[in-house]
Structure 1
Amino acid sequence: MMANLFSIFEPSSSIFNFSLNWLSTLLGLLFLPYLYWASPSRWSLCWSDMMFTLHKEFKALLTVSCVGSTMFFVSLFSLILYNNFLGLLPYVFTSSSHMVMTLALSLPLWVTLMVKGWINHTQHMFAHLVPQGTPPVLMPFMVLIETISNIIRPGTLAVRLAANMIAGHLLLTLLGNTGPTMTSSIVLSILIFSQILLLTLESAVAIIQSYVFAVLSTLYTSEIN
């Protein structure tokens, strides 16, 4: 039962050992040209306002102005958001629920920030290992704690996003598999209503986790400047 339950996250269709399910990650790109060649609609205006709001918020979080950095984090937010929402559609592979994708987003970003920080701001990176006001006796322990917390950052970013997407999809699948076995119409109505509520919750989680991933990435970037 557990193997069948988790099989919804396994890529199944492939050609020449290349999984076609991962192509669902690129489906979000199909929505972007519509914003440029079509006449403005409520959806496009709403999306533009949201992107502009995120741009201003990320710019405020960055302590030092970096040209184009806010657009990178806005694009990162859009990519994760599209994949989270596409995963809620039936028979669409949820790529953001896999550590392969989430680590591919967080690990290169973290490595780039660490290389830039230790090369250009070496003293600042050393000072960041010891919080201000730490007693001399506790300094070695604080250095160890800060080093470990810094190393596990890409892992926490990746695990947070993947775990939240997996948890909701497992609940949706588990409740959906019990539907055909229901004989009582009252219980079936309660099940359908709970599925609708859970789907609404998952839609909110898709937005929140995209925002959290982008904001934490922005905060990690601001620490090295």
Structure 2
Amino acid sequence: MASWRVLISAGTFLLWPLLPEGWRRRWRWPLPATAGVLAHASAYLCTVASIVSWFGAFVCYQIAYSEQVTALIAESDREPGAITWYGLPMFFSFFFTLSGALLTLWIGDSVARLVTAFATGEPMGSLFLWAPLRILDGVLRAAEEGRRTREYGLPTEPDRIEAGDGFLAVRANRPHEDWNAFLTFAYGGRFYRLEAMSEAPDGRTKSFVYRMSPWPDAEPIRRIVRLDER
């Protein structure tokens, strides 16, 4: 139990400030009272760490290739040309290495988070977490949509309407989140109100069934949903 608390606390202090705004709202565990200060400190420390790491890696890269550059200059007949054609490309080639590109991107990401922290009071999420989380969210949504398709059918199929004496039933492969009892539903020249929603078998799959009754004559009409046009 204590190890879980330590893990959650570490995640709150290290991971939570880096999450995109939407994922921060999903954080299930309690946040400290100093969460705002923690987010600002994270943006500042990440900026300092990214700059120090970039310069450290840049110096190490130049030291590693200095002997190779010296050898190329020694083999050349024209020393100024050698410096121009060998020294400068190797000097700037750091930006085109994987480590150089990632560290440069880290600096840009950290500076952007620091600027938004001072401009809006809350730093933006880190790009290094936003990208994989966006992919993960897309995968989860696709998996959920696949499950719904197997259970309820394709979302592109139109609603099926069953009209009877004094009732109306609408079968849909996906729920209509905006339908409620305050809406007036028009079909076949008559008005209806929503009474209940349930799930029921529909062939090999299930469907969401919206059962409606005639709209009371004395009830005012606020908004009409025309089922004939769906």
Q: TM-score range by the shorter chain?
A: under 0.3
Higher helix share: 1
Greater relative CO (CA pairs within 8 A, separation 6+):
1
Higher gyration radius (CA)? 2
Higher strand share: 2
- Give the TM-score normalised by structure 1: 0.27
